[in-house]
Amino acid sequence: MSQALTLAVDGGIAVITFDLPNEPVNKFSAAVIAEFDAILTRIDTDASIKAAVLISGKPDNFIAGADIDAFLEFKSAKDAELASAAGHKAMERIERSRAPIVAAINGACLGGGLEASLACAYRIASDNPKTVLGLPETQLGLIPGAGGTQRLPRVVGLQAALDMILTAKNVRARKALQIGLVDELVHPSILREVAVQRAREIASGSRRHEEKKHGAKEVVLEDNPIGRAVVFRQAREMTLKKTRGNYPALLAALDAVAAGYHGTREQGFAEEARLFGEMSATAVSNQLIFLFYATTALKKDSGIADASVKPLPVKQIGVLGTGFMGAGIAAVSVMQNVPVRFKDTKHEQVGRGLAAVRDVLKDRLVKRQITKQQFDDQFSLVSGTVEYTGFGSVPLVIEAVFEDLAVKHQVLAELEPKLPAHAIFASNTSTIPIAKIAAGSKRPERVVGMHFFSPVHKMPLLEVIVTPQTAPEVTATVVAFGRKLGKTVIVVNDAPGFFANRILAPYINEAGRMLDEGVPVDVIDRALLAFGFPVGPVTLLDEVGLDVAGKSGAVMSAAFGDRVKPSAALGKLIASGRLGRKGKKGFYLYDERGKKGGVDESVYAIIGAPQRQASSPALVQEIQERCALAMVNEAVRCLDEGIVRQPRDGDIGAVFGIGFPPFRGGPFRYADTLGAAELVKRLQALDVQYPGRFVPSARLVTMASDGTRFYPATGKPVG
């Protein structure tokens, strides 16, 4: 087996280059740690080596962290605890190395990579947009397990450390310098040269790591037990409020950090290892690791069976419609340096669209995610027109016009003669079947759906919708382009509602039926928040727009009948002229800025609900089961009908598109958790109460009979 680490010594400075063979990124594994151990032994025993530099041989990756495959080998919490203790020992060797080690960081420095860097005597980062540092373990339902909860607070302070660990957000290089996470920032081209020089200076004693100086706020809140108790209490309260206790690793991470302050150094590391082991054995971690594997596998999926078909290059695009969705699509495109030609029917509409793009980019500038120069460069890539000038050489046009088939046919008829023959026409429709849109084209094989989710610059999912006529090259091209925009892409077959909106319909409608029955708005929303959805279904109706929800509901009802028939309550509120948040009047109250308040009590008179029911544990359970199981059952129907190709795509679509609770893994993973037999039993019981709406899908009935699952019970979850 070829080595991951090489050692070169020049003038008393050892340069350790980490370049894991046949892998795009560097990862820690038992074999790599053994190599590190051997190299550190040589350094410790070779008196001619005065200092060392740890650098990556990969172009834009320092160390991505641990090899997640190793986590699947844990048979118990104790196995994981011992693995964490082994990680502590490895990092301790770096920290106590006779020759001080300088970390030269270019590209992603995550998880175990950051923990190794924290153990080094000095850290230099490249001023490269791809250089980010972070501890993402809580996204896997775990906590940092190689000393991160102990060393990070000592380096950047308690509050900054808790923010990094609990949010799992990456810190860019400049921010890392500001908070003291790195000691120096240099241009990538001189990173190695400067790192070697700093190693030489540290060895001679002329340079050392400077501790971050605490300001008055840190002195009050971090440098004494009373202040730290306040920080920990507030962090715990905020975490519980945000997660409702559904993500135990966040509370475990808080406990691990606290242990480092309350006891000895050894006790702090021991508690981190114990809690890492405990979290590794949770069902939540199991589901979040599944999502990690699922999204990783999806990145390698072109969406077509024929691997010989290659995507066309897309170096510029056209966007039709400068409203909220069109502006969002344009914004994420220019963020990836793709020029956009914007088209609408009136100059003022084009102007509003350009302003909306500018606002999205400005938000990134304010948050220091881009520089002023990058802001100017990106905004210069979008141009507007009320004609079709500039579309003659565009390889991809994304249509985001009014949700009306006649309007879409009109723009397609106007545009198609002006496009090159190989150009792709993609519709951002959320309800109209793509085959109906393609019927208005002379080249239906080059018509496809690209369903972005709102707001486009924040929502990660893109549904690519194909018809039997869609050319494989078209599918491959839009999938590749979607990934270029940073989207998680699933390919689904054409049908009303596609996948995400199709499974959302019975979920929303069941909430509406409960409004008809007199269940209070806030009781419904709180029940689904407790289940794990990011917003309640009634709040979602207000956010989407009651008029939009009404049109979508009508389409779904026409396609699937009474099973997804919209509620009377929603119809009455739409008839009263309420639009939801955008009209500052919906189920909830909104201020002039559109900020949500409490429930608008006047809605009950409008919808004429028969009675008001108070919340109770039994009612909460009923709300959760009716809404969530209706969604799960519909997802399985989509698999039966070939709308989604496999359970993995459905779970990714539900989690990233409509907020199905990640800690439950997705509708298919949740079905496996319950077991098909139990799921069918619950659906049948509901169908007795509400005939026709909960008939179990044929596949579920078969699975309940033969005891099968959607996923293997053990081993790597997917891909």
Q: What CA–CA distance (Å, rounded) separates 603 from 516?
A: 12
Co-location of 386 and 371 in the same domain: yes
Is 570 part of any domain? yes
Residue 308's pLDDT is 84
- Who contacts 79 (Cβ-Cβ below 8 Å, separation ≥6)? 73, 277
Co-location of 438 and 542 in the same domain: no
pTM: 0.91
Amino acid letter for position 572: K
Co-location of 30 and 108 in the same domain: yes
Higher-confidence position of 615 and 379: 379
pLDDT higher than threshold 70 for residue 305: yes
Co-location of 436 and 531 in the same domain: no
Co-location of 343 and 239 in the same domain: no
Q: Within a 10 A sphere around the Cβ of 299, how many other Cβ atoms?
A: 10
Co-location of 100 and 28 in the same domain: yes
Instruction: From the candidates 115, 463, 510, 625, give the one annotated as an active-site residue.
Output: 463
Co-location of 411 and 469 in the same domain: yes
Give residue 404's pLDDT band: very low, low, confident or very high (50, 70, 90).
confident
Residue 214's pLDDT is 61
Q: What CA–CA distance (Å, rounded) separates 328 from 295?
A: 23
Residue 306's pLDDT is 79
| Mean pLDDT, range 158-174, rounded to an integer | 94
pLDDT higher than threshold 80 for residue 211: no
Instruction: Give the residue numbers spanning the domain of 28.
Output: 5-281
476: domain CATH number is 3.40.50.720
| Mean pLDDT, range 135-148, rounded to an integer | 96
Give residue 716's pLDDT band: very low, low, confident or very high (50, 70, 90).
low
Co-location of 487 and 511 in the same domain: no
Higher-confidence position of 90 and 305: 90
Q: What CA–CA distance (Å, rounded) separates 184 from 177?
A: 7
CA atoms within a 13 Å half-sphere pointing along the CA-CB vector of 390:
17
Is 29 part of any domain? yes
Residue 632's pLDDT is 98
Is 296 part of any domain? no
Co-location of 211 and 115 in the same domain: yes
CA atoms within a 13 Å half-sphere pointing along the CA-CB vector of 703:
23
Co-location of 563 and 484 in the same domain: no
Choose the final residue of a domain: 257, 281, 305. Answer: 281
Give residue 554's pLDDT band: very low, low, confident or very high (50, 70, 90).
confident
Give residue 413's pLDDT band: very low, low, confident or very high (50, 70, 90).
very high
pLDDT higher than threshold 60 for residue 216: no
Residue 573's pLDDT is 92
Choose the final residue of a domain: 237, 256, 281. Answer: 281
72 secondary structure, DSSP code: G
pLDDT one-digit tens code per residue, 436-459: 999 999 999 999 999 999 889 999
In degrees and rounded to multiples of 5, residue 253 shows phi and psi of -65, -40
What is the token pair recorded at 363? 């938000």
Residue 221's pLDDT is 67
Is 443 part of any domain? yes
Is 388 part of any domain? yes
Identify whether the C-beta of residue 88 lies closer than 8 Å to the C-beta of residue 116. Answer: no
| Mean pLDDT, range 14-30, rounded to an integer | 94
| Mean pLDDT, range 362-371, rounded to an integer | 87
Is 338 part of any domain? yes
Give residue 612's pLDDT band: very low, low, confident or very high (50, 70, 90).
low
Residue 225's pLDDT is 81
pLDDT one-digit tens code per residue, 488-516: 999 999 999 999 999 999 999 999 999 99
> Is 463 part of the annotated catalytic residue set?
yes
Closest CA to 9 of 38, 31, 42, 34: 42
| Mean pLDDT, range 133-156, rounded to an integer | 96
Residue 718's pLDDT is 62
Percent of the chain whose pLDDT exceeds 90:
79
Co-location of 269 and 122 in the same domain: yes
Q: What CA–CA distance (Å, rounded) separates 498 from 319?
A: 22
| Domains: count for the chain | 3
Is 53 part of any domain? yes
Give residue 218's pLDDT band: very low, low, confident or very high (50, 70, 90).
low
Co-location of 508 and 483 in the same domain: no
Q: What CA–CA distance (Å, rounded) separates 468 from 148?
A: 51
Is 289 part of any domain? no
Choose the final residue of a domain: 493, 508, 541. Answer: 493
